[in-house]
Structure 1
Amino acid sequence: MDLPPNTGPDLPASPVVELRQYTLKSGQRDTLIDLFDSKFIEGQEDAGMTVIGQFRDLDRPDMFVWLRGFDDMDSRKDALAAFYGGPIWAAHRDAANATMIDSDDVLLLKPAWPGAGFELSGLRRAGLATDEKPSKNRPLPGIVVIQIHHLRRDAETGFARRYQAEMAPLMAATGASLLAAFVTEHAENSFPRLPVRVNENVFIGVLGFDGAETHVRHEAALAGSAAWQFFWQAARPDLTKPTETLRLSPTARSLVGR
């Protein structure tokens, strides 16, 4: 029998979000996911943050990707200090760290425009089964795709404005749900014990799909779209390196992507 989920109906869209990509030791991803889903979600949320989503990277078998949110930078400092100085992390940190090669690939983000954060109201997190570990559940059919666009520092406002006006409707018309959009939060890291990537300037789109086949059809439709080609032709001078695309499968207890 599942325990009652802890996520209520009124979670706000977090004004500050971390996108975290962990490189793990070979074969250790499910070990970390078991630990994360069973031990770390409620502990972090009790400390004052929101665990938005956690995922298996479909193209990189040793990558664990997750997102968490905060009310503001001061709240981030307090929440992280409470969790990483608290008993849950102390009890399980050695087991978690033993799975990892690198946990410092972190982007600090804010919504790209008003209302562009995750809409979490009404979502319910799956409860923990008492007789099995979370990773024993079959992978969920939906996927989340995160696109990381690297921009010149002075280009993010214009890029976000055009993306909202031109690309968001096109995404919806070709089978994607735009779950959120972010740009870099340039405020100083309020918890330097956990590094973030500095000197970054990104626009990030988070897209939801019913499954991998829907994503393939979406990509094919965009490739044949004159509007899509026009957008990227105009945006090319603002891009500093190729776009990163993460294809992700949510874990059993991910709030987003289920």
Structure 2
Amino acid sequence: MNTTTDLPEPRFATAAAPFLEDCAVVELRDYRLHAGQRETLVDLFEREFVETQEACGMRVMAQFRDLDDDDRFVWLRGFADMAARRCGLEAFYGGPVWQRHRDAANATMVDSSDVRLLRPARPAWAAVTPASPRRRTDDFDDIDEVAHAPAAMVVLATLLRPDSIDAAALRVVERELLPAWRDAGVPPCAVFVTENAVNDFPRLPVRTEAQALVWLTRVPQAGAWEQAAARLADNPAWVRRALPALQRGAGATLTLRRLVPTRRSLMR
């Protein structure tokens, strides 16, 4: 989030933050941090950057720790549309909260440019607002969150390929991928593809070198993922049909990451 240029105060009011179902544009933001700085950023983010971003018309959808990399922080931010994104980002990064805390936030980061601009692959595959509200900043006990990490986690799957995620690819998702993951006991809770609109807030760059298919899956227990992965490996719908069809073309890659929601993550 290295938006270090001084910006003018916003000169407009912004709309209310959208529900998850109404986030037609989503940023997937993956930060590489300095060693030992993740908890510093998580604490600062959850104290200062949640309600203040949502007051600018954006939805802070989820924040995660990477279980396999202590120096990674992943989060998702949603917008009603591209115009709302531009207005919300101008309001937040030009406002007093970011100006006051940006140096502390940026000091934790090695690289904040790994960002993909996404949209729900289909309206029915958008994220769903949970029934339970986000926890308040004062709704925490004294338990060390890291030492007592929750058993539940989220698997983030990112498939990158050079050509577009077209209607044929989405039929593969519908007919092969989603049933296979459901049969493995880990049904995806949201599916996104690259939003190819021009990034009209260039102070926050986004990656455009590949087309992305991204899905998130809640896993009730960390150990359950190993069992689910084994079931997927034995499922022809996944191994013989979905994967070959989706990974067509040179350079296609699939990455699976194990993430744990932070205490104030809306998606859990």
TM-score where L is the length of structure 2: 0.87
1:3 is aligned to none
Contact 2:61 2:267 in 1 (8 A): yes
- Once the two structures are overlaid, the 10-residue window that deviates more, 160-169 or 238-247, is 238-247
Please list the CA deviations of residues 209-246 of structure 1 after superposition, one character each: whole Å capped at 9, or x if unmatched: 00211111110001111222222233342463321122
2:81 is aligned to 72
1:246 is aligned to 257
Contact 1:57 1:247 in 2 (8 A): yes
Q: CA deviation at 1:84?
A: 0.5
How many residues align? The count is: 251
- Tell whether 2:268 aligns with 1:237: no
Q: CA deviation at 1:25?
A: 0.4
2:96 is aligned to 87
CA distance 1:131–1:162, change in 2 (3 Å): closer
Contact 1:222 1:228 in 2 (8 A): yes
**Aligned residue among 8, 14, 19 for 2:28:** 19
Contact 2:63 2:261 in 1 (8 A): yes
Q: CA deviation at 1:131?
A: 7.7
- Once the two structures are overlaid, the 10-residue window that deviates more, 95-104 or 128-137, is 128-137
2:123 is aligned to 114
**Aligned residue among 34, 42, 51 for 1:42:** 51
Task: Quote the Cα distance in structure 1 between the aligned partners of 2:21 and 2:236.
Answer: 36
- Once the two structures are overlaid, the 10-residue window that deviates more, 152-161 or 127-136, is 127-136
Secondary structure at the counterpart of residue 153 of structure 1: coil
TM-score where L is the length of structure 1: 0.90
Runs of 4+ with >6 A deviation: 130-135
* Unaligned ranges ≥5, structure 1: 1-6
Q: CA deviation at 1:124?
A: 1.1
**What pairs up with 1:73-222 in 2 under 5 angstroms?**
73-120=82-129, 122-129=131-138, 136=145, 138-222=148-232
1:62 is aligned to 71
Secondary structure at the counterpart of residue 243 of structure 1: strand
* Unaligned ranges ≥5, structure 2: 1-15
CA distance 1:224–1:256, change in 2 (3 Å): same
Contact 1:19 1:65 in 2 (8 A): yes
Contact 1:156 1:202 in 2 (8 A): no
CA distance 1:64–1:131, change in 2 (3 Å): closer
Q: CA deviation at 1:248?
A: 0.3
AA aligned to 1:234 is A
Contact 2:180 2:235 in 1 (8 A): no
- Once the two structures are overlaid, the 10-residue window that deviates more, 69-78 or 165-174, is 165-174
Secondary structure at the counterpart of residue 171 of structure 2: helix
Please list the CA deviations of residues 84-130 of structure 1 after superposition, one character each: whole Å capped at 9, or x if unmatched: 01111111111101101110100000111122110115341011127
Secondary structure at the counterpart of residue 256 of structure 2: strand
Q: CA deviation at 1:151?
A: 2.0
Secondary structure at the counterpart of residue 48 of structure 2: helix
Quote the sequence identity (%): 41
Cα RMSD over matched residues?
2.2
CA distance 1:169–1:130, change in 2 (3 Å): closer
